[in-house]
Structure 1
C-alpha cells in the first residue's frame, strides 16, 4: 500500500505506478490546492473499499485487506482539533464494523505538544 496525502494534484495528473492500482482519489477539484489523497494497492490485495467524503477540511477513507482496515487521513491545518477528533472517531467506529485490526496513517496537521508558559 502507498498512501499519499496533501498531493496538490488534479484529476488530469497522470500518477500511475507499475503493478499498483489507484483505489482512492477523493479530491476531484480541477485546480491545484494543498489537499488531495491518493491510495495505491497491489492489484491482488484489495478486499473492500469504504470511501468517505471529507468535510470541514478533512479527507479520509478505509480500505479492508484480509483482517485489517487501513485508514488514511488528510487533515488541513485550518481544521480544529475537535473536528479532527470527531472525524477520526467516526471513521474508526465505521471501520470496526468490518474488522477489529486498524492501522491509521496520514497527515493530521495537529500539534500534540503541550504548550506551557
Structure 2
C-alpha cells in the first residue's frame, strides 16, 4: 500500500519560485564547467513534488525530462558449439543422404583392389 509522500519545506519552497534555466543544467563559465544548482536526484524530487501538488514543472523553469532511447536487442553470443550446431546437423543430414552412393563407390573400389591383387605375380621382384 502506498503512503502519502511528504516533502521537506525546502523542496516545497523551491516549487513556489521561478528558477533560471542554468539552475537545472551544467554551464560553461570562464573556461570551467559549473554543475547545475539542482542535481539530477533533486530535480527528480522536484518533478515528483510538482506532480503531487499539481504544479506544472515548466512553470518553475524545469526542462522536459530527457527521452530515454529504446534498448537495442543483441542476441547472446553463446558457445561456438552452440552457434555451429545447426550447420553441423545440416552437414550430417546431407552426408547421410549421400551415404548409399558412397558405399557403392567404396565397394567398387574394393573390388578393383581384389582384382589387382589377383593379377599380381607372386615373385618378389
Give the TM-score range, shorter chain. Answer: under 0.3
More strand by share: 1
More helix by share: 2
Q: TM-score, normalised by structure 2?
A: 0.25
Larger Rg: 2
Q: TM-score, normalised by structure 1?
A: 0.26
